């Protein structure tokens, strides 16, 4: 084994953080772990343990770990006896995939094993193939930070993290076409692992599960500074005219702000077959690359609004959307349609003081397109309005109190239940 780093002289520092590594299988996964462990161990500033799964999967891996422990005697070894993988449906599966599956199905045993480690573990570092099983054990059971040592390039990590959103949006459970990865761009269907075209393949199932969990890992830096992103979405049933969509795009571009924009060209979600490149101005996506993200798919809006990076919601004023924004303390720029209750709802934003409503912003007549320059100006104005921002935070705090036990919303629910009780 080529380990460039040298062992430290003497024992590791007493009272130092204790990192527990849980590698997976396959040399392509194990090499980055041993290199990182060697680099850390050579500095002597951390206590290190490595969880070794037994029985050994290959001589090469066993020899590799043996060399690591021989070179760095202060690195501890925690033996981890895997449960037998007795599953006839997996006959003929690639042995490394089986090994990953075996580790994943035994992951619940890791809690007691690591809990018993001395000194107490400070953090866990594991492999992406085990993410969906190990992160919950670390966080919920052991109450420890859990980091992923990602063994491939950042593009692959973005793809992995985005793939569950892609499959949810496509209403499928496997790769069916090109994938527009936020921040990366369009990946042709034959770039990602081709096995993802097979929904029944174990790799596909593991990949989606791990992709769903990876955002929970520690150490992933925020995408963006707090309150720096404008979220633009006009609900499920509000298809905008092409010309207005282009003005919105130009306005967001001219605002200079970061943004996440959900574009809909049809009134029914998931049936929008328009290509973003056909809908948006030529070269728009390239010009805003890195600071603006445009998507057509369904987003988890509550999660978006709850993200600390979001500083403004440009909204059609659906009541759900307004209450979600209010609950998250996110200021609003109201752009209601005349449809339904939206303009009445906009009055609530204005009277509660956590946003701006420009009544002359209409969706209805081509003659009254809201132009890019005005959109840019108002977006910048609300993003920089400290009074609106402070009021939105206050509304968010009030909303949290209202639904907590003893809060007004909670109390009315109790009163409602009491009314039902009194009917008996």
**What positions carry a catalytic annotation?**
29, 127
> Which residue number, 87 or 300, has a Cβ lying nearer to ligand UDP?
300
The 10 Å CB-count burial string (b at 16+, else e) for 369-387 is bbebeebbebbbebbebee
Q: Are 69 and 107 in contact (CB under 8 A)?
A: no
Find the binding residues for ligand UDP in span 316-345 (CB under 6 A): 318-321, 324
Kind plus residue range of the DSSP H or E element containing 126: strand 123-126
The strand order across the sheet containing 18-22 reads 76-81, 47-54, 18-22, 123-126, 146-148
> Which residue number, 101 or 127, has a Cβ lying nearer to ligand UDP?
127
Closest distance between ligand UDP and the C-beta of residue 133, in Å?
Answer: 21
Stretch that binds ligand UDP, among 51-59, 294-302, 366-374, 401-409 (CB under 6 A): 294-302
Dihedral sign, Cα of residue 377, residue 380, residue 383, residue 386: negative
Q: What is the largest CA-CA distance in the chain?
A: 79
Q: Is 235 in the site for ligand UDP (CB under 6 A)?
A: yes
Stretch that binds ligand UDP, among 125-133, 232-240, 351-359, 394-402 (CB under 6 A): 232-240
Closest distance between ligand UDP and the C-beta of residue 274, in Å?
Answer: 15
Q: Is 28 in the site for ligand UDP (CB under 6 A)?
A: yes
Q: Is 298 in the site for ligand UDP (CB under 6 A)?
A: yes
Number of residues that bind ligand UDP (CB under 6 A): 18
Closest distance between ligand UDP and the C-beta of residue 10, in Å?
Answer: 30
Q: Is 299 in the site for ligand UDP (CB under 6 A)?
A: yes
Closest distance between ligand UDP and the C-beta of residue 244, in Å?
Answer: 17
Which pair of tokens denotes residue 128? 């992406």
Out of 24, 228, 301, 325, which residue is the one contacting ligand UDP (CB under 6 A)?
301
Closest distance between ligand UDP and the C-beta of residue 177, in Å?
Answer: 19
Out of 205, 224, 237, 291, which residue is the one contacting ligand UDP (CB under 6 A)?
237
Out of 5, 7, 16, 31, which residue is the one contacting ligand UDP (CB under 6 A)?
31
Closest distance between ligand UDP and the C-beta of residue 252, in Å?
Answer: 17
Out of 50, 187, 262, 285, which residue is the one contacting ligand UDP (CB under 6 A)?
262
Rounded-to-integer distance, Cα 92 and Cα 100, Å: 15
Closest distance between ligand UDP and the C-beta of residue 179, in Å?
Answer: 18
Which pair of tokens denotes residue 259? 């943004």
Long-range (24+ apart) CB contacts under 8 A made by 355-360 are 355/325, 355/331, 355/382, 355/388, 355/392, 356/332, 356/381, 356/382, 356/385, 356/388, 358/334
Within 13 A of 237's CA, how many CA atoms are on the CB side? 7
Q: Is 26 in the site for ligand UDP (CB under 6 A)?
A: yes
Q: Are 393 and 344 in contact (CB under 8 A)?
A: no
Beta strands 179-181 and 185-187 are antiparallel
Taking alpha carbons only, the member of 255, 242, 227, 228 closest to residue 374 is 255
Find the binding residues for ligand UDP in span 37-96 (CB under 6 A): none
Out of 122, 236, 244, 347, which residue is the one contacting ligand UDP (CB under 6 A)?
236
Q: Are 200 and 191 in contact (CB under 8 A)?
A: no
> Which residue number, 121 or 276, has a Cβ lying nearer to ligand UDP?
276
Phi, psi of 390 (to 5 degrees): -65, -40
Residue 423: other Cβ atoms inside 10 A: 5
> Which residue number, 21 or 114, has a Cβ lying nearer to ligand UDP?
21
Closest distance between ligand UDP and the C-beta of residue 205, in Å?
Answer: 20
Binding track, positions 352-391, relative to ligand UDP; x by CB under 6 A: ----------------------------------------
The strand order across the sheet containing 355-357 reads 292-295, 258-262, 229-233, 310-315, 332-334, 355-357
> Which residue number, 137 or 245, has a Cβ lying nearer to ligand UDP?
245
> Which residue number, 209 or 295, has a Cβ lying nearer to ligand UDP?
295
Write out the residues near ligand UDP by the rule CB under 6 A: 26-28, 31, 235-237, 262, 298-302, 318-321, 324
């Amino acid at each position: 084994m080529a380990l460039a780093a040298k062992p430290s002289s003497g024992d590791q520092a007493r009272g130092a953080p204790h990192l527990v590594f849980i590698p997976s299988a396959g040399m392509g996964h194990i090499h980055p772990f041993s290199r990182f462990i060697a680099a850390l161990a050579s500095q002597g500033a951390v206590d290190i343990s490595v969880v070794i799964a037994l029985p050994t999967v290959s001589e090469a891996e066993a020899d590799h770990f043996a060399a690591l422990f021989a070179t760095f005697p202060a690195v501890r070894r925690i033996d981890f006896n895997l449960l037998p993988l007795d599953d006839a449906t997996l006959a003929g599966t690639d042995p490394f995939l089986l090994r990953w599956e075996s580790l994943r199905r035994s992951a619940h045993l890791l809690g007691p094993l690591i809990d018993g480690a001395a000194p107490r573990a400070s953090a866990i570092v594991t492999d992406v193939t085990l993410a969906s099983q190990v992160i919950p054990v670390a966080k919920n059971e052991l109450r420890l930070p859990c980091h992923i040592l990602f063994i491939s390039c950042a593009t692959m990590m973005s793809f992995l993290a985005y793939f569950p959103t892609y499959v949810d949006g496509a209403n499928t459970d496997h790769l069916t076409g090109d994938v527009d990865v936020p921040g990366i761009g369009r990946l042709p269907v034959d770039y990602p692992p081709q096995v993802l075209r097979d929904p029944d393949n174990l790799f596909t199932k593991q990949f989606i599960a791990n992709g769903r969990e990876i955002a929970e890992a520690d150490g992933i830096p925020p995408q963006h500074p707090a309150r720096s992103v404008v979220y633009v979405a006009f609900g499920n049933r509000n298809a905008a005219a092409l010309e207005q969509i282009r003005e919105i795009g130009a306005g967001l571009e001219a605002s200079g702000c970061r943004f996440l924009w959900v574009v809909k060209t049809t009134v029914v979600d998931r049936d929008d077959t328009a290509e973003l490149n056909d809908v948006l101005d030529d070269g728009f996506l390239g010009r805003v690359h890195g600071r603006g993200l445009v998507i057509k798919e369904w987003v988890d809006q509550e999660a978006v609004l709850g993200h600390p990076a979001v500083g403004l919601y440009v909204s059609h004023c659906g009541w759900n959307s307004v209450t979600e924004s209010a609950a998250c303390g996110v200021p609003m720029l109201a752009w209601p349609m005349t449809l339904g209750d939206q303009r009445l709802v906009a009055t609530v934003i204005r009277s509660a003081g956590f946003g701006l409503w420009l009544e002359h912003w209409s969706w209805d007549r081509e003659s009254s397109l809201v132009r890019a320059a005005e959109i840019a100006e108002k977006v910048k104005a609300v993003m920089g309005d400290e009074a609106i921002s402070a009021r939105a935070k206050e509304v968010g705090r009030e909303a949290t109190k209202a639904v907590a036990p003893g809060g007004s919303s909670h109390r009315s629910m109790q009163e409602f239940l009491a009314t039902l009780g009194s009917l008996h």
